[in-house]
Structure 1
Amino acid sequence: MICAVYKSLRKAESYLFVEKRNDFERVPEALMAMFGEPKLVMMLPIEKRDHLGFADIKKVRSELKEKGFYLQLPPPVVNLLEQHKKEIGFNPD
């Protein structure tokens, strides 16, 4: 299976994988409205891949078959200062 990967011009680091190029029929309208106009990034032979950057390849394959799309969102932003404060036991209260 070759899927099409699109990036969002509205949401940074958000990618939409669909089964066929320019086929957004199975993607919910609300998701497309949030995602904005999709920009094609690449055509990806998903069956030949063992892994993807930030996404679980098994989940991508499964959702493409079941839903017809997979949405990859960026990982949550980590506040390194707050994390460091917790590690050293800093509590201003």
Structure 2
Amino acid sequence: MQCFVYRSQRKADTYVYLRERDAFGLLPAPVAANLGPLHFVIELALSPERKLAREDVNAVMANLAGPGFHLQLPPPPELFDNS
């Protein structure tokens, strides 16, 4: 399954995976407005065997097959142990 990855220029460390290149109409209007302009990063071939750095490839593929997009949010801030 091919996908196209875009980086939000408004939200740090936020990426959108789309099943079609430049198919921004797949994004719900409130999501698109919140992300602002999107910058193309890379085209990927996804398969169940492929490893992604921060996402479960099966979840990404399911979202692309369903609504047509997957939103990758920044990781939660790490909690520091001050002991």
Fold in common (TM above 0.5): yes
Which structure has greater helix proportion?
Answer: 1
Q: Cα RMSD (Å) of the superposition?
A: 1.4
* Amino acid corresponding to residue 16 of structure 2 in structure 1: L
Shift of residue 51 of structure 1? 1.4
**TM alignment of 1:78-93, pairs within 5 A:** 78-80=78-80, 84-85=81-82, 88=83
Give the corresponding residue for 2:21. 21
- Measured in 2, the distance between the counterparts of 1:7 and 1:61 equals 18
* Amino acid corresponding to residue 10 of structure 1 in structure 2: R
Greater than 4 Å deviation, 4+ residue runs: none
> Which is worse superposed, 33-42 or 44-53?
44-53
Give the corresponding residue for 2:66. 66
* Amino acid corresponding to residue 44 of structure 1 in structure 2: L
Task: Output one character per residue of 1:46-85: Cα deviation in whole Å (capped at 9) or x when no partner.
Answer: 13752100001010000110110000001100231xxx24
Task: Output one character per residue of 1:14-51: Cα deviation in whole Å (capped at 9) or x when no partner.
Answer: 00000111111221010000111000000111137521
- Measured in 1, the distance between the counterparts of 2:46 and 2:36 equals 24
Gap runs ≥5 in structure 1: 89-93
* Amino acid corresponding to residue 65 of structure 2 in structure 1: K
> Which is worse superposed, 47-56 or 65-74?
47-56
Residues 48, 58 of structure 2: 8 Å contact kept:
no
- Highest RCO, 1 vs 2 (Cα 8 Å, sep ≥ 6): 2
Gap runs ≥5 in structure 2: none
Which structure has the greater CA radius of gyration? 1
- Measured in 2, the distance between the counterparts of 1:59 and 1:79 equals 26
